[in-house]
Amino acid sequence: MPNLRYLEPTELLEKIYATLCSEYEDAQHYESEQDQKEITVTKKRLTKKIFNEFVVDEEYFLTMNEKTFNERYQLYEVDLLKMIQECSENRIEYETFVQIIDDLIASAKFRLQAFEQLSDEIQKLQEEDEQVEQEEDEEE
């Protein structure tokens, strides 16, 4: 298993990913329109199941508080779904797949840290301004 920084892969994640890869492979062998429609629905559903199975900071995307998810990962949702689809469609090895997802989640984490750092700096400046104002008021 690759050295992951943020993603905490589950056993089920690996199984769903293998199933999705299998669906892409199977799709090549079915010609009827009905079969293709069913396979398309299955692929979409499995892609979403994989997405929901991601665990970061001991929390599943599926059960994550909506506000928390929106702040941290919503900006990356389209990219994550695209990564799942393209990795499974091209039968990328599972270990490589989770590394790719971990790298994208790292990007989301770094973005969050940058905004937190900005908020901290703004708060420090505001506190300094308030202290200067208090000192000026005390001098008067």
Q: What is the 3-state secondary structure (H, E, C) of 10-27?
A: CHHHHHHHHHHHHHHHHH
What is the predicted pLDDT for the residue at 138? 77
Which tens digits make up the pLDDT trace of 81-127? 999 999 999 999 999 999 999 999 999 999 988 988 998 899 999 98
Contact yes or no for 112/71 (Cβ under 8 A)? yes
Contact yes or no for 55/10 (Cβ under 8 A)? yes
The DSSP code for 51 is H
Report percent pLDDT > 70 for the chain. 98
pTM above 0.85, yes or no: no
* Rounded CA separation 42/96 (Å): 23
What is the predicted pLDDT for the residue at 75? 92
